[in-house]
């Protein structure tokens, strides 16, 4: 495959790899939001991340809601309250 033809494919694969990484995108003493993909990173994984984030404030995470943004392989967000 010529390099020019492979470039869009490589960009797509790299974009997917970036989306696969779970991340705490908002954190405060009262709430945490975790981005995850729902495929290889599940809501359970997001919950563990939220537990760690809330533990910094001597609190535990309680799931408030989830959201899905995008089509197909869109991003998922889990919103937790730190209680």
pLDDT in tens, 12-69: 544 544 455 789 999 999 999 999 998 889 999 999 999 999 999 999 999 999 999 8
The tally of domains found in the chain comes to 1
Helix or strand (DSSP H, E) at 40:
none
Range of 42's domain? 3-82
Give the global pTM. Answer: 0.73
**21: how many CB neighbours lie within 10 A of its CB?**
10
């Amino acid at each position: 495959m010529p390099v020019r033809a492979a470039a869009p494919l490589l960009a797509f694969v790299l974009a997917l790899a970036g989306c696969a990484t779970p991340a705490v995108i908002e954190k405060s003493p009262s709430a945490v939001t975790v981005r995850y993909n729902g495929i290889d990173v599940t809501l359970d994984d997001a919950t563990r991340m939220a537990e760690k984030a809330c533990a910094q404030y001597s609190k535990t995470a309680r799931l408030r809601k989830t959201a899905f943004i995008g089509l197909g392989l869109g991003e998922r967000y889990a919103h937790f309250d730190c209680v």
